[in-house]
Amino acid sequence: MRRVLRTVAGPALLLLAAACGGGPQSALDPAGDQAGHLHGLFKLMLWVCGGTYLLMLGFLGWSIWRSLHNQGVGREASAAGLDRGLRAGLGLWAGIVVIGLATLAAASFLVDRALASARADREAIAIRVTAHQWWWRIEYRNPATGALIETANELHLPADRTARIELHAADVIHSFWLPNLGGKLDVIPGRVNLLDITPRRIGWYRGQCAEFCGLQHALMALDLRVAPEEEFAGWLAAQAAPAAAPDDAMLARGRAVLEGGSCAVCHTVRGTAAAGKAGPDLTHVGSRRSIAAGWLPNNRGNLHGWILNPDALKPGTSMPAAELAPEDADVLARYLEWLR
């Protein structure tokens, strides 16, 4: 009995997880067309394989029960009868397996076709995502001017419109995964991979690098906002604008620290002298939900701590600690928080 329980427990837990799964980072809670197709395929596979498994356990139980209770019956049956029974049983079993596998093969083929068909959508919005150890550079095209608008670690998509995400890698192989919206796709240096996503449900979600890419792979996440069209357009226009000029002396000092310090070597804040390209664009960093690739909630305390010692928060990160006087670090954190 215990052995039977043990054998059944694994699949039962999987079924339970499938029934309960949900939330901002879950492939079991689809919020877009592609994820919906994949979820359907997952459920079909679960039921076909789970059903076959239960059927097999049923037969096993039945044969054990028979051998315990009908001892001797088999011996009296004729060899020909036994043979016929065995052949029918095996035939039935092979039929079940062939039908099950054919169903799964046909379903995967159809889902694959459905995932590819979005490529014909002319209204698709093009977004370029570049994976770095360990953060995401994100670029949109300004609908008005055609110029690229850069941001990082926070992807915004309009609902009910296909986004074609062009995936680039800056260093090693990564994998781009928004579980609620679609399947994983590898991000490979020297190669561009295209992923189509059609979000349907408005909300905040979380994405994740899904291919081990070094020390901080686990802290390479991104926030995703699926927004109504107007909200998205407003957001894009705000991101396209350069950083506002500070309206008070303290913020102006923060900007001077950023422009004069090491920060400007790696970071861009459009509208200021900082035009570095090695790190995330900080033009509107204050508007983001989190910093350091979905790792820390974005607030002044975390910005302050991050500037002074990023390695303590994300060991191995390529951003060096800044050597700043305490007041300079303070005004710099205030300035970054204010960059909305």
Instruction: Report the interface residues with Cu ion, using CB under 5 A.
Output: 174, 209, 213, 220
When asked if residue 254 is in the footprint of ligand HEC (CB under 6 A), the reply is: no
Peptide bond into 47 cis (omega under 30): no
When asked if residue 48 is in the footprint of ligand HEC (CB under 6 A), the reply is: no
Segment contacting ligand HEC (CB under 6 A): 37-45, 92-100, 178-186, 259-267? 259-267
Task: List the interface residues with ligand HEC, window 152-181 (CB under 6 A).
Answer: 152-153
Q: What is the token pair recorded at 50?
A: 């789970």
Q: What is the token pair recorded at 74?
A: 């088999």
**Residue 163's binding partner out of ligand HEC, Cu ion, none, with CB under 5 to 8 Å set by partner kind:** none
Among 280, 283, 313, 331, binds ligand HEC (CB under 6 A): 280
Radius of gyration of the chain (CA): 28
Q: Which is nearer to ligand HEC, 158 or 286 (CB)?
A: 286
Could you give the maximum distance between any two Cα atoms of the chain, in Å? Answer: 102
From CA 238, how far away is CA 157, in angstroms rounded? Answer: 14
Q: Which is nearer to ligand HEC, 41 or 187 (CB)?
A: 187
Q: Which residue has the tokens 């992807």?
A: 155
**For ligand HEC, how many residues bind (rule: CB under 6 A)?**
31
Peptide bond into 134 cis (omega under 30): yes
Q: Which residue has the tokens 């001892």?
A: 71
CB of 210 to ligand HEC, least distance (A): 17
DSSP string, 108-139: HHHHHHHHHHGGG-TTPEEEEEEEETTEEEEE
Give me the 214-253 binding string for ligand HEC, x by CB under 6 A, dash otherwise.
----------------------------------------
CB of 167 to Cu ion, least distance (A): 11
CB of 119 to ligand HEC, least distance (A): 31
Q: Which is nearer to ligand HEC, 39 or 132 (CB)?
A: 132
When asked if residue 285 is in the footprint of ligand HEC (CB under 6 A), the reply is: yes
| SS3 state of residue 286 | helix
194 DSSP β-pair partners: 166
How many residues comprise the chain? 340
Nearest CA to 194 out of 147, 129, 113 is that of 129
Nearest CA to 157 out of 99, 209, 233 is that of 233
Task: List the interface residues with ligand HEC, window 296-325 (CB under 6 A).
Answer: 303, 306-307, 314, 317-320, 322
CB of 257 to Cu ion, least distance (A): 31
Q: What is the token pair recorded at 260?
A: 């004069």
Q: What is the token pair recorded at 293?
A: 């690739």
List interacting residues with ligand HEC (CB under 6 A).
Answer: 134-135, 152-153, 258, 261-263, 265-267, 278-280, 282, 285, 288, 291-293, 303, 306-307, 314, 317-320, 322, 332, 336
